[in-house]
Structure 1
Amino acid sequence: MIFAHALCLSLIAVAAAAETAASKQPEPIDMMHMVNVSERLVVFARKHTTDTPFRCQSAMKKSGDIQKGYDYSLKARNGSEYLEDNVHVTLLPLPVGSGYKSTYIDRTGTNFTLTLWKKDESGRCFVIFVEKNTGEQGCELLVTASTRNETVPRDCQSFYRNTENCEGTSKKLYKDKCKYD
């Protein structure tokens, strides 16, 4: 009887901890807010794969629609050389609420799933959560190319820095001498 009672209490404690952990995860926002941006998006910083040699990372929507998906040009600098990768982005319904998250596969076969967690009112900055099929995951802070030299809006900056939202060490990928054409 005591064992059954202890087991029941243990299960309740585990369920409560799982519920608390799940409730800490931010409410996802419709990825269409980013998809509708008509200029290049700059990866200002990120908290995953921080050992990358690539800097000046950016993404630009080339074409597409909500049914067929979108084609994006991804650019990055490795040393002094800029490299480009074209990817096809598919939208997937969010598991809760309405809206979408996005997914794509890069040239190495790595699958990326992106969930928008935060944006500012003007649509100049975004915080996304990136999950790779390699097990790596973490937040990225993106800004529009036209505002990259301005202070990152406080909404996005504080959300990104908050370790309850975005765990890990941040790596700044934006450099003043980056070219975003």
Structure 2
Amino acid sequence: MSIDSIVFRKKKFVEEKRSTGRNDVTVNKIQRNQPGIAMLTAEIWLRMSMVKGLAVARSCTIAKHLIAYADIHFDVLTAVGLDESQSQQFIHASTHYIAATLAWLEHPDHHMLIYGYPTYPQRLSHISSAPLLLLITGDVSVVSQLQIAMVGISSAISIAIFFMPGLIRICCLRYLVMPLL
């Protein structure tokens, strides 16, 4: 997928917000046997990223099914494959986080890359715990270049100090690049 198509999808997201007149985030009021609630596509992806206990490929499939529905209600969540606990996680996802992320995505240099889409880094998609979403600031094409990254580690600084010098040496030897250290 080209950078132009990423920009087009981003414009589509902003237009979707404008056309629905929605500048807010769905309030956690999805209940059984109640009318459904319309959600922005990006909101569905963000909510699915917070559901625990699903393989990333399964989360991706479920999110794509949910996007096809005009309104989302509790019965839809179970119909697409979420169990009771996962449906509750989807329903009660942090509206503060979702609202802040949707506002963040409106900036032209902010992007959301989704697992299974061509823009998602191919090598990252092969790890066992690949994230469903990547929130990127800046040039999206950079994620497809050779890099060293630590994903999903909250105490990355101490681990990086220990492992990075050796990892950089290995990469430099493999690609015959002179290390700067």
Same fold (TM over 0.5): no
Structure (1 or 2) with the greater helix fraction: 2
What TM-score, normalized to structure 1?
A: 0.26
Between Structure 1 and Structure 2, the one with more strand by share is: 1
